[in-house]
Each structure stands twice: as structure tokens, then as C-alpha cells.
Amino acid sequence: NAGVTQTPKFQVLKTGQSMTLQCAQDMNHNSMYWYRQDPGMGLRLIYYSASEGTTDKGEVPNGYNVSRLNKREFSLRLESAAPSQTSVYFCASSARTGWESTGELFFGEGSRLTVL
Amino acid sequence: SQQGEEDPQALSIQEGENATMNCSYKTSINNLQWYRQNSGRGLVHLILIRSNEREKHSGRLRVTLDTSKKSSSLLITASRAADTASYFCATAGGTSYGKLTFGQGTILTVHP
């Protein structure tokens, strides 16, 4: 049972470099999410995809782009990395979506990114 | 901005004691969820309580929800050292279409 798989697990970038975080889920979920977690803080939503073919901004989208490649995969791209993007990034998926219903989220193990 | 505010930020107890964590939120919700995060790992879903429910149990977990006070509590009974983790509340619904908004978390340490 793989669940939600994120790659890479660790990455060090220099300021200005670009990279893509990959996420895949094998649970046939409709919705997928990218969150970032900084020390002492909760999770902040970067982007989400309620269903295949749609993406929407979350709380902190600046400096990021996303692609919902298909139902399984949702990638997060940093076009020009900045030190402020040093964080742990979590991908998650959910079976349910709707105006008033967001069910249980399943999380990956995280991708730890350092921008020097 | 964070929807949920958790209290206390850190809690240290002995094995066998009960642990209570509180969560307050600002806007109307459809449901409230609690998650656990072990150090260096992803979050794991513990329990979901809907806005029309007042209390829910799962094993040693008891969650209450008071929508009039916009608050929830998570009680872990008979804590074990393995319960040491961070616990987060997350809210769904209201203006947060299709997504969860997380609080800052409570760090629970259970001493053997």
C-alpha cells in the first residue's frame, strides 16, 4: 500500500535554481494538495486540485506553480527558488470534495527543501 | 491566516495520564479533523467530527465540538510514550471550499 508518494525526499538548491516536486497517489482520489510546513507553524496550503483538470491557489501560492498531470499525479514547481522557500513540503490527497465537505486527507512523508 | 488556534502549544505528561488539547476556530465549518504527526513524518488522520455532532470516540481518543464557542478538544486517555507527537486540528467548510485549514499544533511529550 504505497498511498501518497513524494519525490525527492531531500533537496538542496541555490537561490534562483528551479526544481519540481513530484507527487503520486494510488488511491484513485479526486483531490490533491500541496502544503508547506515551517518550524513552529502549522501547514499552509500552497495549491490544490479539487479534481483532474482543475487547480486553485491556496494561502501561499506566490513563487510556485502546479500541474495536475492526471488523476494520480500532482507536481509542484519552484521556478526561481528563494531562501524563504526553505521548508518541508507535503503532498496530500482526499477522496471527497465539495462545497461543504472535505474528508480525510492522506499525506506523503514530505520533501525537505533547503534553498541557500 | 490560520483558521485553527491550538492550546497549549506544548504539553508534557507522564505515561498513564490523560492529555487534553484544545482548538479554536473563527468561521463556520462543515467538519473538524484531528491529525497526528510523528517527528520527521507525514500527518496521519485521527478522527473527523461533523458540525452537527457534539462528541465522538475512537479507541482512546475522545473529541468534542462546540460550534457555539467555535472550539474543539481532543482527549487522549491513558497516554503512552508512543503517543509523543504533534497534534493538529484542521477545519473544513465555510469559505474554505474543498480544502482543510490547519492550526499550528500542540506538541505532546509523554514521559515513560
**pLDDT (average), residues B47-70:** 96
**Chain B nearest C-alpha distance from A82 (Å):** 22
Per CB-CB distance under 8 Å, the chain A contacts of B90 are 105
Per CB-CB distance under 8 Å, the chain B contacts of A45 are 99-101
**Chain B nearest C-alpha distance from A63 (Å):** 18
| CB proximity B102 to A under 8 Å | yes
As a whole number of angstroms, the distance between CA A97 and CA B41 comes to 25
**Chain A nearest C-alpha distance from B54 (Å):** 18
Closest Cβ opposite residue B98 in set A4, A31, A109: A31
Instruction: Report the pLDDT value the prediction gives residue B98, as an integer from 0 to 100.
Output: 65
Instruction: Report the pLDDT value the prediction gives residue B94, as an integer from 0 to 100.
Output: 63
What chain B residue is nearest to A40 in terms of C-alpha separation?
Answer: B104
| CB proximity B67 to A under 8 Å | no
**pLDDT (average), residues B35-44:** 95
**pLDDT (average), residues B71-81:** 97
The more confidently predicted of residues A98 and B20 is B20
What chain A residue is nearest to B6 in terms of C-alpha separation?
Answer: A42
pLDDT digits (tens, 9 = 90+) for A58-73: 989 999 999 998 999 9
As a whole number of angstroms, the distance between CA B6 and CA B87 comes to 9
* Side chain identity at residue B57, one-letter code: H
The answer to whether residue A20 scores a pLDDT higher than 90 is yes
> Which of A55, A50, A92 has the alpha carbon at shortest distance from B42?
A92
Q: Of the ranges A26-35, A99-108, B6-15, B59-68, which one carries the lowest mean pLDDT score?
A: A99-108
pLDDT category of residue A43 using cuts at 50, 70 and 90: very high
As a whole number of angstroms, the distance between CA B34 and CA B50 comes to 12
The answer to whether residue B3 scores a pLDDT higher than 70 is no
pLDDT category of residue A98 using cuts at 50, 70 and 90: low
DSSP letters for A41-74:
--EEEEEEESSTT--EE-S--TTEEEEE-SSSBE
**pLDDT (average), residues B71-91:** 96
Assign 3-class secondary structure to A75-115.
EEEECCCCHHHCEEEEEEEECCCCCCCCCCEEECCCEEEEE
**DSSP state, residue B16:** T
The answer to whether residue A23 scores a pLDDT higher than 80 is yes
Which of A47, A100, A106 is most worth mutating to test chain B (most B CB atoms within 10 A of its CB)? A100
Q: Percent of chain A at pLDDT above 70? A: 93
Instruction: Report the pLDDT value the prediction gives residue A57, as an integer from 0 to 100.
Output: 93
The more confidently predicted of residues A102 and A97 is A102
Q: What is the mean pLDDT of chain A?
A: 92
Instruction: Report the pLDDT value the prediction gives residue B1, as an integer from 0 to 100.
Output: 43
Instruction: Report the pLDDT value the prediction gives residue B6, as an integer from 0 to 100.
Output: 86
Per CB-CB distance under 8 Å, the chain B contacts of A108 are 42
**DSSP E strands: which ranges in chain B?**
5-7, 10-14, 19-24, 31-37, 43-50, 55-58, 61-66, 71-76, 85-93, 96-102, 106-111
Please answer yes or no on whether B99 and A109 come within 8 Å at the CB atom. Answer: no
Closest Cβ opposite residue A107 in set B42, B99, B101: B42
Q: What is the mean pLDDT of chain B?
A: 91
Instruction: Report the pLDDT value the prediction gives residue A82, as an integer from 0 to 100.
Output: 97
